[in-house]
Chain A
Amino acid sequence: QKEVEQDPGPLSVPEGAIVSLNCTYSNSAFQYFMWYRQYSRKGPELLMYTYSSGNKEDGRFTAQVDKSSKYISLFIRDSQPSDSATYLCAMSAVGRDDKIIFGKGTRLHILP
């Protein structure tokens, strides 16, 4: 079982829809959770950073962490064509040698 599982997609949704992106993980030591957005041929851009369980909202983006289920989500409201990108989840833990572990990334297409 991989440490972090993420459906690679592609996921296609109509403009204006709510998008739900998810990752599961197996290591209960993970405490720090991140979502990155990466456009083609660009570097990843940090969207959300959360510690432990709970929700965090920033504009149209909401990140949820459920440590009991080892499940994290990113919701995008009122999706726009400019949201079309690859979304990478990532997580890390104290004592894990400075590393963050990435999911494979989900390719998202917002259809105009």
Chain B
Amino acid sequence: AQRVTQPEKLLSVFKGAPVELKCNYSYSGSPELFWYVQYSRQRLQLLLRHISRESIKGFTADLNKGETSFHLKKPFAQEEDSAMYYCALSSGNTGKLIFGQGTTLQVKP
């Protein structure tokens, strides 16, 4: 079954600390993976796509097919990074996105 798991509901760090938001997936084919961010009561915004291998707002994510993971990392957290983060997997030809449960990142001053 296709599934995305984000094991942490809440991740709380201090400003300047490194951040890693975990994402594991289950998918039989070649996965297309994404990270989305949702700031308080706003719409979801695309943060990263694994195919583009880019860094946005200092965040990076590497696809590890052996561990079936796509963890989101940032070396130095900022207060403005506080938000809900969703990992998502694109499913099959229809392009449906399967979302994880989300992780709330709280960056304390």
A binds B: no
Binding site for B on A (CB under 8 A): none
